């Protein structure tokens, strides 16, 4: 990686580095969700969820669309989910967290 690519990678990883943001990505792995569905399932307020989604969107991890008064979120790159498999493996195999 070039220094510029490392910097960009660090920003993407930093954008993921929050339990609610990881939860949102995990839920979006199953397909498009509304903002309401996300904050309901993750048990947080609408304003907190919106702030977290803004961070994910700023790094290109999710896209959003509006239909009437409803905002829908989806993953921009499903290949990114492979990183989740690596994280799960590391957490269980190396850190031994179950």
List CB contacts of 73: < 8 A, sequence separation 6 or more.
24, 28, 32, 33, 34, 35, 38, 53, 62, 63, 64
At 81, which CATH number? 1.10.10.10
pLDDT at 97: 87
Total domains, the chain? 1
Under 8 Å between Cβ of 68 and 57: no
Burial class (CB in 10 A: 0-12, 13-18, 19+), 62: buried
pLDDT at 62: 97
42-95 pLDDT, tens digit per residue, is 999 999 999 999 999 999 999 999 999 999 999 999 998 998 889 889 999 998
Domain hosting 39: range is: 3-94
pLDDT at 80: 86
């Amino acid at each position: 990686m070039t220094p510029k690519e490392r910097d960009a990678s660090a920003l993407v990883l930093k954008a993921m580095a929050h339990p609610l943001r990881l939860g949102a990505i995990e839920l979006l792995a199953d397909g498009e969700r509304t903002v309401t569905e996300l904050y309901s399932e993750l048990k947080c307020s609408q304003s907190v969820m919106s702030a977290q989604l803004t961070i994910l969107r700023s790094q290109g991890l999710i896209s959003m669309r509006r239909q009437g008064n409803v905002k829908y979120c989806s993953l921009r790159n499903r290949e990114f989910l492979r990183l989740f498999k690596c994280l799960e493996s590391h957490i269980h195999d190396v850190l031994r967290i179950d």
